Amino acid sequence: MKKIILAVLGVMLLAGCAKQPQTMDNQVINNILTRVSVRQFTGEPITQAQVDTLLRAAMAAPSAVNKQPWAFVVVSDKQIIDRIGEEMPNTRCQNNAPCAIVLCGDLNKALEGEGRDFWVQDVAAATQNLLLAAHSMGLGAVWTGMYPTHRASVAQKILDLPENIVPLAIVPVGYPAEQPAVKEKYNEELIHYNRW
């Protein structure tokens, strides 16, 4: 009898585990679900190898017709980071960020015709890849928006960007000096199947 009860309990336990979201076993899903925006940094520098990995992840993003219409400016010069933070406090660069990565669209590489603005989605995908890579490496980062606001031209000026290079986002990256709580965003009410 005892054996039967234990066997039933075992099956119930396994069935329960099977129903759990995959987040426990799947590191990629876990990484996606636990990423948060980090806006305060310790100031400790990050290495060139870390920057290379972040950029490799960014450039692995999908892009329309595989145009890869992007360009990146890695800012580690403290004076430039301070200037970005002073002129655009929303970038959080003033909060001890040792590095800021500027993700830009290269309009000379963008599609022509009605697909021209796909560059925005392409660079957005690269930005999200970079944020997820940073999180997986124990680094903190936050997407701060440039294009289509006036900030894009402020950043263009500070960084001497040519006219065809449009900054979509500035992402300060460094070791986190805060541990923000993960926001629960999953909402079944937003999901529709087959028709609205």
Site string for ligand FMN, 60-99 (x = CB under 6 A): ------------------------------x-x-------
Minimal CA–CA distance to 164: which of 115, 94, 104, 117? 104
> Given the complex with ligand FMN, which of 58 and 92 has the nearer CB atom?
92
> Given the complex with ligand FMN, which of 17 and 140 has the nearer CB atom?
140
Site for ligand FMN, residues 21 to 40, rule: CB under 6 A: 36-37, 39
How many degrees, rounded to 5, is the angle at CA 21 between CA 56 and CA 173?
A: 30
Least CB distance from residue 56 to ligand FMN, whole Å? 21
Q: b/e for 44-80, b at 16 or more Cβ within 10 A?
A: eebeeebbebbbebbeebebbeeebbbbbbebeeeee
> Given the complex with ligand FMN, which of 39 and 97 has the nearer CB atom?
39
Query: Which token pair is 133?
Result: 């890579």
Rounded distance, CA 42 to CA 97, Å?
7
> Given the complex with ligand FMN, which of 184 and 189 has the nearer CB atom?
184
Least CB distance from residue 91 to ligand FMN, whole Å? 7
Give the residue at shortest CB distance from ligand FMN. 145
Rounded distance, CA 120 to CA 127, Å?
10
For the beta carbon of residue 134, count every other beta carbon within 10 angstroms: 25
Number of residues this chain uses to bind ligand FMN (CB under 6 A) = 10
If you ran DSSP here, which 8-state letter would residue 176 be given? B
Least CB distance from residue 180 to ligand FMN, whole Å? 6
Site for ligand FMN, residues 115 to 144, rule: CB under 6 A: 142-144
Site residues, ligand FMN (CB under 6 A): 36-37, 39, 90, 92, 142-145, 183
